[in-house]
Structure 1
Amino acid sequence: MWLFSRKGASGFSASSTAEEVTQGIDGTGLTAVVTGASSGIGTETARVLALRAVHVVMAVKNMTAGREVKDTIAKRNPNLATNHVGKFLLTHLLLETMKKTAQGRRTEGRIVNVSSRVILITSLYNSLSAYGQSKLANVLHAKDLARRLKEDEVAITANSLHPGAIATNLFRLVGLVGKYVIKNVEQGAATTCYVALHPQITGKAGLYFADSNVAETSLQANDNALARKLWDFTFTLINNCPNNT
């Protein structure tokens, strides 16, 4: 159950489920690569996209290239390696294929980065700081990628989102309070599926979503110069990775 269920401009709210925000949408002919698809909201995202006739590729984190990148910088920030660099690399490896597909089928491609509202407290010196920095990187990556794709006049959008506080293996809050403020898996996958599939998002790029609506984010997450620096920094890490392909 979710107490705060006021609907936003999209017609959806924090209590909306992935099935609800994609009801009536036909994803036939589309392909989605879903990371983290082995549990929690990743599994639900894959399930609902498949339900809407999308061809779903379930990607795992331990890709060879991703593992090499992680090993290179693990001692510095394992969260950054797992939550940003590996996904950045996967996106880069798939991008040319996505461009050809979008052009050949005249269909808009969509890249969706799952972030977190913990980015709002990344400047604090606490246990969430490193995790928050890695999720901030997801937002900045989507923002700068969206800019680059627009400049290249490519029919692919890139956005980021906060799925909400989810009762999954990654985060559990017990007790009465948790029952009313934590989303279930079906609700947690809603924003991802909404941004990935809903016609309302056509042509929208470089935005941040929460509860299946456009949402405000931090000043750092809107810093274009920082986004460019992160892009260059990430490519430097990847290029310096042993056995880089």
Structure 2
Amino acid sequence: MSERIISAFSAKSTAREVAAGHDLNGVRAIVTGGASGIGVETARALAEAGAEVMLAVRNLAAGEVTAADIGRTAPGKVSVGRLDLSDLASVAAFASAWGDQPLDILINNAGVMACPQSYTAQDLEMQIGTNHFGHFLLSILLARSLMNAAQEGRQSRLVSLSSIGHRRSGIHFDDIHYRQRPYDKWEAYGQAKTANALFAVGFDARFADLGINANAVMPGGIMTPLQRHLPREEMIAFGWMDESGKTNDRFKSTEQGASTSVWAALGDELEGVGGLYLENCAQALPWTQDNPFEGVMPHALDPETAERLWAVSEETTGARV
């Protein structure tokens, strides 16, 4: 690793603390999944710093409630747009509605974790179909808007939410969608989160010279609706909570969990820098068995695998650069 990029913030910093001191008046941002979990706090921190933020959500009613709540303390305008990442037609409709208007920040935050075996509207395995392929199409369709917002001395930024779950699996190119092999919900999640990291590598390689940098973010362990598919007994067995429901001290609050996304979007240390995997408001160290809940594994940042995944993603979504 070359000189590691760090910041003045830490694992316990909040999104508001990271955004403090930034004047985002005139900045436009989209946060997918902005109506729940860390998406709310990501959007709130940006809007409170003055940004115009769109919550790209599947549930418009929930999005409107969140937008109103953020608006009570935020000078920035908060709007809501419908986006179902499990349906590429919905992704295309959202991007079409946005058009070519400038976009400074795209935070691909939405996701599904460890769901029962199911498939998207286009018959893609639900986890990689939603977490990766939906975001891939969205990002390519909004690339022109991101380029339109780039200014001399300031790149637009794309943030791709990954997870330490990437350690569970690389990309199974021979059967990405579990058509032949038995479905494993955690392996499928790991594959999807590896794809999110590789996407940042591939996107930055193509768009850095056109004014956009992309980085992947590991937000940390946070109790949010992301765990909706997990039985309580499984979370207790994992040590995420005890029998009384008390969350493991290793977990972050939603405000803390959103901090690295906001740093990836705003941090001066990251100007002109892309293709990295970030956590705890710093460039991640390599994964080790001694510290299994942090770090990044080589397969999540491998350029050749990123290129192979990019080709599959273009073929799957029909999107071309």
The answer, yes or no, to whether TM exceeds 0.5 is yes
Equivalent residue for 1:186, pick from 247, 252, 255 = 255
Residue deviations 1:134-163 (CA, integer Å, cap 9, x gap): 11111101101111113xx21210000100
Q: Provide the residue aligned with 2:155 in structure 1.
A: 108
Q: Provide the residue aligned with 2:95 in structure 1.
A: none
Contact 2:29 2:54 in 1 (8 A): yes
Which has a greater percent of helix? 1
Q: Provide the residue aligned with 2:186 in structure 1.
A: 128
The whole-number CA distance in structure 1 between the counterparts of 2:312 and 2:86 is 16
What percent identity do the matched residue pairs reach? 36
RMSD of the TM alignment (CA)? 2.4
Task: State the TM-score, normalized to the length of structure 1.
Answer: 0.85
SS of aligned partner of 2:215:
strand
With over 3 angstroms needed to count, the CA separation of the structure-2 counterparts of 1:148 and 1:210, relative to structure 1, is: same
Residue deviations 1:176-207 (CA, integer Å, cap 9, x gap): 87341110111011000111112121111111
Shift >3 Å, 4+ stretches:
61-66
Q: Provide the residue aligned with 1:142 in structure 2.
A: 200
Q: Gapped runs of 5+ residues in structure 2?
A: 59-81, 90-119, 171-182, 228-234, 286-295
Contact 2:31 2:53 in 1 (8 A): yes
Count of paired positions: 228
SS of aligned partner of 2:136:
helix
The whole-number CA distance in structure 2 between the counterparts of 1:11 and 1:65 is 34
Q: Provide the residue aligned with 1:243 in structure 2.
A: none
Q: Gapped runs of 5+ residues in structure 1?
A: 1-7, 241-245
Q: Are 2:119 and 1:72 aligned?
A: no
The whole-number CA distance in structure 2 between the counterparts of 1:36 and 1:63 is 9
Contact 2:200 2:215 in 1 (8 A): yes
Q: Provide the residue aligned with 1:56 in structure 2.
A: 53
Contact 1:25 1:198 in 2 (8 A): no
Q: Provide the residue aligned with 1:224 in structure 2.
A: 303
With over 3 angstroms needed to count, the CA separation of the structure-2 counterparts of 1:110 and 1:211, relative to structure 1, is: same
Per-residue deviation at 1:95? 0.4
Q: Are 2:265 and 1:196 aligned?
A: yes
With over 3 angstroms needed to count, the CA separation of the structure-2 counterparts of 1:43 and 1:64, relative to structure 1, is: closer
- Name the aligned partner's letter for residue 251 of structure 2: I
Contact 1:25 1:52 in 2 (8 A): yes
SS of aligned partner of 1:180:
coil
Contact 1:143 1:207 in 2 (8 A): yes
SS of aligned partner of 2:249:
helix
SS of aligned partner of 1:164:
coil
- Name the aligned partner's letter for residue 128 of structure 2: L
- Name the aligned partner's letter for residue 26 of structure 1: D
- Higher RCO structure, 1 or 2 (CA under 8 Å, sep 6+): 1
Q: Are 2:241 and 1:174 aligned?
A: yes
With over 3 angstroms needed to count, the CA separation of the structure-2 counterparts of 1:9 and 1:109, relative to structure 1, is: closer
Contact 2:37 2:224 in 1 (8 A): yes
Task: State the TM-score, normalized to the length of structure 2.
Answer: 0.66
SS of aligned partner of 2:225:
coil
Per-residue deviation at 1:51? 0.6
The whole-number CA distance in structure 1 between the counterparts of 2:269 and 2:150 is 18
Q: Provide the residue aligned with 1:26 in structure 2.
A: 23
The whole-number CA distance in structure 1 between the counterparts of 2:11 and 2:19 is 15
